[in-house]
Structure 1
């Protein structure tokens, strides 16, 4: 039996992001990544790029020396699958050239 997860809208994810930003910065980083994916999937490349940059800024505040430090705490956010590990290299690989 498969369970379908409803995809959260970009607006719903942005609301979640704002709440997480004040309570759990790692969760906010994961949500920023999910927002980048969601906007990319919607075809809004500029908005996706904004969320990629937000995700990268947040990642700068976390250590990334071990797999344990970059392991995501959730498998998905709002129906968007997260990578197993979240760090700058993964983000740049998945979203390509950001300039």
Structure 2
């Protein structure tokens, strides 16, 4: 996504995710978070849960002892704002039972 001000469709974000999954797993985790948020805000709880689980699974492969290790690298993905830090605790706080 080059235009971070326009809200990308879920399909566009899924395409970005697929590319990132091969090239940059941290970016893929950020995009999975954005997809979970998009689906949750759209009322699609089952899809949101899928993306929450995908994000958590990706995050398991990264260290999380320091703030630097869990700091997001982007402010937003496809117009969806990201938290400053991304780790399992943030996911569970933001998504509750979905996480």
TM-score range, shorter chain: over 0.9
- Extract unaligned runs of 5+ from structure 1: none
Please identify runs of 4+ aligned residues in structure 1 that moved more than 3 A. Answer: none
Deviations 1:48-89 (A, max 9, x none): 000000000000000000000000000000000000000000
CA distance in 1, matches of 2:17, 2:28: 5
Aligned residue for 1:12? 12
Determine which structure has more spread, i.e. the larger CA radius of gyration.
Answer: 1
Structural RMSD (CA): 1.2
Displacement of 1:42 in angstroms is 1.0
- Extract unaligned runs of 5+ from structure 2: none
CA distance in 2, matches of 1:98, 1:90: 12
Task: Please tell me whether the aligned partners of residues 32 and 54 of structure 2 are also in contact (alpha carbons under 8 angstroms).
Answer: yes
Q: Which has the higher contact order (CA 8 A, sep 6+)?
A: 2
TM-score relative to the length of structure 1 = 0.94
What is the number of residues matched between the two proteins?
A: 96
Confirm or deny that 1:24 pairs with 2:24: yes
CA distance in 2, matches of 1:91, 1:74: 17
TM-score relative to the length of structure 2 = 0.94
- Summarize the alignment of residues 39-54 of structure 1 with structure 2, pairs less than 5 Å apart: 39-54=39-54
Aligned residue for 2:91? 91
Deviations 1:3-61 (A, max 9, x none): x8110000000000000000000000000000000001111000000000000000000
